[in-house]
Structure 1
Amino acid sequence: MDHLLMLMLQLLLLLRSSEPGDVRLVGGASHCAGTLEAKHLGEWRPLCASHDSWTLKEAAVFCEYLDCGSAVHVEERHSSYKSAWSISSDCVLSRSPLRECTTSDYTDQILKLTCADSVRLLNGSSLCSGRLEVKSNQSWSSVCEADFDQQDAEVVCRELGCGPPSVLQGALYGEVEAPVWSKEFQCGGHESALLDCRSSGSARNSCSPGKAVGLTCSESDDVRLVGGPSRCAGTLEAKNLGEWRPGFLSTLKEAALVCQYLDCGSAVSIQTAHSSFKFVWSILSDCFPLRDCTTSDYMNKILNLTCSDSVRLLNGSSLCSGRLEVKSNQSWSSVCEADFDQQDAEVVCRELRCGPPSVLQGALYGEVEAPVWSKEFQCGGHESALLDCRSSGSARNSCSPGKAVGLTCSEPDFRLVGGASRCTGTLEFKHLGEWRPVYGFFWTLKEAAVSCEQLDCGSAVYIEMVDSSRTTGWLISSDCVLSRSPLRDCATSHYTDQILKLTCSDSVRLLNGSSLCSGRLEVKSNQSWSSVCEADFDQQDAEVVCREFGCGPPLVLQGAFYGEVEASVSSKEFQCGGHESALLDCRSSGSARNSCSPGKAVGLTCSESDDVRLVGGPSRCAGIVQYQISLTTS
């Protein structure tokens, strides 16, 4: 009996720990529309987005949770300040229990959400495609093709805020064992909802395999560039729910999706311009189709985007690399190596506003079955666009395998300026030919470590945002840096009064560690990095290195702890007193060592303890959070 009671108690605890918490929509025309509220810790509050914008993708999760239809609209609305529950986009999309990622917040923005009451599309490639289901008497049913036609499809697509129907085909999005709607729809095509249509009862209660309605609504003509010199340049506008508004995006990566969508070439530049405050459609990164990634926003900026008209690079590792294609007569063609040389490459890289060409090699970015450009380019190297170059006709209409031009243009540079050495100072980035300071939103030492590595400096020691006079800088997100994406792809112009200051160590670094305060030790001398042998390094030397990195005292000093590599070995024995501020300030004696026995290269772990505490509370486990970071004074 006691054993059974214990099992029941454990089950009760499990259910409580996994309970996602209640969610509802209030103040709308139905239970599927209104302000989004969540019940957490016994209290109903509005739900707000945590430091990011929500799109229809996040809304779709809640529509499903509420047993409503497909997501139609989501927006953030200004209101009076109030307590809210904050939840991140990542948490929603991962479908984690809300109680695990809900935090208390105080905000003047609330989320308003509209789901369809009684229709949904399942298993589609976007929110405007899928297998159609209709809700009646609290249950969902598939619809048979024989009971559904083009006019019915027009109504569904309009009800979901999508474009006109483009494909209506059974089994396009899978077949399932599900009830089948028993009425034939008879829409005129003008109705606002499918259940507003007339219908006639039928005897159907099943549907032949492959005959359940699969519907694709179009998403075309929802983005455009206006007011520019061509259809591939101008002010970005987006259409959502039948309304054209200015569109806003942050980086060239996002711009590349728009350029591709418009059948233009590669993304070349984005620039923001100030305007009066208005509602805009904000387009989020790495998201397609665009409708699924668009959220309503309120801002005083518009965005001007330039795509190249007639050249693009495909399948590259960045926007400055890929297989070259040229557009003529509304179609794209590859270019054969025999018709393209270094001067031609210089023109293409300049046209795309990248650095000079660094690699020109066939098949570097894949081969495709595609038309081949039939002219040989004869650029002088000074032209501003490839199609401005002279060309001579050739008889070529095919290209040997591996001979389609693959081009890599060099990436722009960045630097640290105004510091005591080239490894410390204000971080500046050169983009579109212009050096500007970097505004690093939510950067930490992790992002700094990537920058230090790219500058060939040592480990990251310190990072801070410093107030300055208002200036135009480059905004580069944390995600972009940590993913090691080319910074050009995710830099956007930003007007700011804060700049980023960064300190890297000049001549020591820790590699392959579990944190920035651990790893295999390397020392820089004469522009090259060398490992250090255990026999030439002791506890006092380790104290100096840990202090130089702004870490706590050394905890572990052990060879091969963080891997062995084939690398040169420092030929000096360090003789630190333990008080020095940098390892290379220590005395050293030359040794005959130029190699190190396997497992004997120094692996060092500095402590990171006592850097967080809670103070002012009833115990050491409650109170105000305080954080300590050790800084070098050199």
Structure 2
Amino acid sequence: MCVSYWLRAVMSHVSTDSVRLVSGSGLCSGSVQIWDQSWTWLCEEALDLLGAEVLCRELGCGAPSILQGAVSPLGVQTFYCEGHESALRDCPRSGSWNCSSGAAVNLTCSEPLRLVGGASRCAGPVEVKHRGEWRRGANYDLWVGWDLGATAAVCRELDCGSAVSGEERGGFPESRVWIISSDCVKKSTVTECVTHSSSSSSSSSRGLDVVCSDLLNRPIISLSVLDGASEALPQGVRVMPGSKFRVKCSVEPQFPGGSFQLLSPTVNLTQNHTLPAVNHSAHFLFSDTGPAHKGNYTCVYLLQVFDHAFSSQSHALQLYVGDSDSHLIFRVLVVLLSIVTIVLLLFYCCKVRARGGARETPEVELELDVFSSS
């Protein structure tokens, strides 16, 4: 491998003559520094989103995905970008941006790497943005070849799970490509492993085809009550005991076929928890809702494609069984009100009886006095 590959592999940031990202977790993330006679830190709230877009583009990265502690209130940022500028210094600015490292803005831009032409963003030919130009990637190490180790590095960089398959093949439209070292990407990022050799300017019909494990879209789970009352909650749905409800698993059209498995807390072994996907969805019916149905429900989409088994899991939907908190509170209030009413009635009756007894006492005394005098 060329020495230049190793030099690029040890770099922890991307930079231009005037701006750079340092101490980040990836090539296109880190704290922002600007050249002003020396490298100085860019302060928090110095950028708005338009300024972040300009900065990411200047660094040769994709769109900003995270701008921590930096989204400036309207009208108070240091750089006033319109979004079309090619460099941050082209934006009008006011005030100083120099601050300590502890108050510097942290920026994460999307990596200049993508898979195109596949059924999802986690499958397809590799394309790399280098020197401001997107091109198909081709392998550099002819003797080593493109293997699963290099494929795993691409999947990891794209946050697409683990490697399923990867190969270099022909049959692509003739076009200029970026030459990539398969051995280099196992130790560094793809963009740091693009060669600057003259072969990069030549046309080729070859390219890298990659399939990652997070190929499938995430399924969607929803719940509807067929009879009885229900209440939508931020974490799920509440249904009344004895109700019938239906859980729907669905997925955006991507591949034909497949099946859905429903993970649920029910212990009814006769319930079919795996159904084929019909029109990219499946419905699971439940009746006579009781305490056993309470808990989390999750859809798992299963599919065999490219001679491999894939799966994708939805977020969990929580089912509550019983009266809502408002109903319980209402019932408690009714009981308390009834108790208070009964107590008041008893108190009133006792008071009335006490008054009646007080009126009878003088008459008794009078009768006793008369009897005594006679």
TM class, shorter-length: 0.3 to 0.5
User: If each structure's strand is expressed as a fraction of its own residues, which one has the higher value?
Assistant: 1
Quick check: which has more Rg, 1 or 2? 2
User: If each structure's helix is expressed as a fraction of its own residues, which one has the higher value?
Assistant: 2
Q: Relative contact order (C-alpha < 8 Å, sep 6+): which is higher?
A: 2
